[in-house]
Structure 1
Amino acid sequence: MSRLNALGSNATGRTAELFAAVKAKLGKVPNAYDAVGSNSPVALEALLNFDAKLADTSLSKREIEVIKLAVSEVSACDYCLAAHTLAGKAAGLSADAILAARRGTPGGDARLDALSTFVREVTGSRGTVPAPVVDAVKAAGYTDAQVVDTIFAISSITFTNLVNRINDTALDFPKAPA
């Protein structure tokens, strides 16, 4: 049961415009976007723009999904885990790689494993990350620019994690495997 207002097809004005754009791109307005846009079209527009710019960073789609999966696992956001399990598959991650990213276990790609470990440390530590953690992700081949882009991605998914955790957003994607 959602705790925040959700307008769905009853949206008007800027919210309706944003929902139409989301539906054109995704085929539906996910419940998470409904919750954000119904209450703050400014926040939804910023989120959509944020994610559009995230696609322009130095990170691949697979890396972005590893980040979103790792953060969502640390945050225990069932909604984002479900959504990004699907997005991770679409980005080319295997089921094993998705679970590894979430759990911080080896998934067969040392570079993605290092990224997941870094992200879990950043998220779980509130940003106070020991130098060896930063050194490890850089030793895996990530540049300083990619470290900053990773923090950018963490910021995006943290917002939706928080909205969904506060809202208790109903799943409209298949539940992510445990």
Structure 2
Amino acid sequence: MAEFTFHTTETDHPKRKALLEKAQAGYGMIPNMIAGLSESPAAAEAYMALSKAVVKGSLSKEQQHVMWFTANAEHGCEYCMTGHTGLAMMDNIDPGVIDSARNVTSYKDSKLEALRQFTLIMIRQRGWADDDQVQAFLDAGYNKENIMDVIIGIAHKTISNYANHLMQTPLDKGSEPLAWKKPQA
């Protein structure tokens, strides 16, 4: 099995060093995932750019977390589910929303559940949502901008989820109490 390096700012690669310093400044630490992704500075840069794009998009904070949680759970990414649990808690997301996400169960709020279902459709059908599925999402109170922002969010999570699978990224220090394992079906 290939072993990946989790780089630090002590690297002698100038582009990687600048990127890790940027991550340190932005996150207050260098998340292990970005340390690993920085093997390809372009990959880490793409991930960080998509992070900013999602946050600037049309989905509310709560909706962003629901979309991220849905992709993380569907892809079975333990690192990202753990990390996003902590981020959701810092963003004061309703504990019931976090619990539903971690247990991979439906949301009580019908609009959030519509977002979860649409995110799953987009992932499972690789973007081939049919007209009725798109209309159901729109009828739940979303719009076409939201659809595009879900696509950005899925791209964002696909980069991190897939990379974490390959890198077997260890949890960040201090996040162990929030560790997540995908529930057995």
Same fold at TM > 0.5: yes
Which residue of 1 is the match for residue 143 of structure 2?
143
Query: Could you report, residue by residue, the CA deviation over 1:12-70 in whole angstroms, capped at 9, with x for unpaired residues?
Result: 31211221121122221011000001x11122122212211222211122211111110
The offset of 1:99, in angstroms, is 3.2
Which residue of 1 is the match for residue 116 of structure 2?
116
Cα distance 1:142–1:163, how it changes in 2: closer, same or farther (>3 A)?
same
Q: Is the 8 A contact 1:101 1:116 kept in 2?
A: no
Quote the Cα distance in structure 2 between the aligned partners of 1:121 and 1:168: 27
Quote the Cα distance in structure 2 between the aligned partners of 1:92 and 1:135: 31
Structure 1: tracts of 5 or more residues without a match: none
Cα distance 1:155–1:140, how it changes in 2: closer, same or farther (>3 A)?
same
Q: Is the 8 A contact 2:88 2:98 kept in 1?
A: yes
Aligned residues: 177
Cα distance 1:95–1:28, how it changes in 2: closer, same or farther (>3 A)?
same
Q: Secondary structure at the match of 1:83?
A: helix
Instruction: Write out the 4+ residue segments of structure 1 that deviate beyond 3 Å after TM superposition.
Output: 101-106
Quote the Cα distance in structure 2 between the aligned partners of 1:2 and 1:93: 37
Question: How much is the aligned-residue C-alpha RMSD, in angstroms?
Answer: 2.0
1:23 matched to 2:24? The reply is yes
Which residue of 2 is the match for residue 100 of structure 1?
100
Cα distance 1:168–1:130, how it changes in 2: closer, same or farther (>3 A)?
same
TM-score when scaled to structure 2?
Answer: 0.86
Q: Is the 8 A contact 1:105 1:113 kept in 2?
A: no
Quote the Cα distance in structure 1 between the aligned partners of 2:61 and 2:93: 10
Quote the Cα distance in structure 1 between the aligned partners of 2:145 and 2:156: 17
Which residue of 2 is the match for residue 176 of structure 1?
180
Identical columns (%): 26
